[in-house]
Amino acid sequence: MRPFEYLRADSAQAAVAAAGAAGAEGATLAATQFIAGGTTLLDLMKLDVMRPKRLIDLNALEAEYHQIRVDAQGLWLGALVRMSAAAGHPRIVQDYPVLAQSLQLAASAQLRNMASLAGNVLQRTRCNYFRDPSYAECNKRSPGSGCAAILGRNRKLAVLGVSEHCIAHYPGDLAQALVALEASVELLGRHGRRSLLLQELHRPPGDTPHVETALGSDELIVGFRVPARAWVRRSLFLKIRDRSSFEFALASAAVALDLAQDVVRQARIALGGVATRPWRAHEAEALLEGQPFDEAQARAAAEAAFASAVTHGDNDFKPELGRRTLVRALLECAALPI
């Protein structure tokens, strides 16, 4: 690990002031990095993928960052809430099952005790070419160097939202659950607070795959707001992976349905393991809404969700796995006794 300066922030304002002006390189390549649980950052620093000059420890920040609040309007999840705390929170388990399940199925008990929710949402791809600097080519790690994955081993990589410059997958689970529930993320920067829909936080790779999010390098996630809409209770997270625990998704689906008898009033769907960022499946939602729900309808929605898929050899199996994952998730969600 390369040397760095370590500072502990006693206030969020001090943290964002010290992080400096937002640079064009994007938050993920910035010389100053915020650290909470550290489970992504220290891992990537040991691998020499991330080389920050300065770490700002956020763990001492005020209460708002550590709180879970539930009321009639919805849910507030502080940025520094640990995954395990949210996963086991009785009101989240009962009223926002897709959120609790996405967390319970992620990582290991130890990592869930360490990782913050904001850090989890910002976790980096597991693309092996990104994680191994002995490969010179990686547009995400080293802008303009090329992509070794497109013609390389790409079994785990994305089929939705890819570009000719990057096919790295977004590996997390929680972000899909938050996107499906139309959560927003609250940010603090040097020029104050702003809020955006979580689905606008992660950027498509395009021709700048190293700029992964809409965050400025001076911006800090304060927390997440999840509106208490009609679909939150009939929701679930389905994760398909190579082993049954402590593994990233090959394909996942976060689904939430508002049903009236057998008719879908509203559907919210986000897909994971298959896309370059947390993937909102608008086309699939549109096919379901206003229609009686059955398996044929679910299948049609899954076809629509993957209509734009582009594969690269090893990951040719992913569109069909993703479709089946979504069909099963929709069938199970519609059958929930609520």
Partner 1 sequence: MFTRMDAPVALGARGAAGDAPALALSLIVNGRRERLSVDARVTLLDLLRERLGLTGAKKGCDQGQCGACTVLVGGRRVLSCLTLAAAVREEVTTIEALAGSDGPLHPMQQAFIDHDAFQCGYCTPGQILSAIACVQEGHADSDESIREWMSGNLCRCAAYPQIVAAIRQAREQIARPADGSAA
- Site for partner 1, rule CB under 8 A: 1, 3-11, 14, 18, 35, 38-39, 42-43, 46-47, 55, 57, 59-60, 84, 88, 107-111, 113-114, 245-246
b/e map of 66-84 (b: 16 or more CB within 10 Å)?
bebebeeebbbbbbbbbbb
* 31 vs 111, beta carbon nearer partner 1: 111
The two tokens of residue 258 are 């508002």
* 88 vs 189, beta carbon nearer partner 1: 88
Angle between helices 318-334 and 295-305 (to 10 degrees): 140
> Cβ of residue 1: shortest distance to partner 1, in angstroms?
5
* 44 vs 334, beta carbon nearer partner 1: 44
> Cβ of residue 285: shortest distance to partner 1, in angstroms?
32
Give 63's contacts (C-beta < 8 A, 6+ positions apart).
78
- Give φ, ψ of 165 to 5 degrees: -105, -15
Which sign does the torsion angle of CA 187, 192, 195, 200 carry? negative
> Cβ of residue 65: shortest distance to partner 1, in angstroms?
15
Tell me the C-alpha to C-alpha distance, in Å, between residue 182 and each of 177, 224, 255.
9, 10, 11
> Cβ of residue 216: shortest distance to partner 1, in angstroms?
20
Eight-class DSSP state of 270 = E
Closest CA to 28 of 7, 3, 49: 49
Alpha-carbon 189 to chain mean position: 21
The two tokens of residue 76 are 């507030």
> Cβ of residue 255: shortest distance to partner 1, in angstroms?
23
> Cβ of residue 130: shortest distance to partner 1, in angstroms?
15
Which sign does the torsion angle of CA 151, 157, 162, 168 carry? negative
* 108 vs 195, beta carbon nearer partner 1: 108
> Cβ of residue 55: shortest distance to partner 1, in angstroms?
8
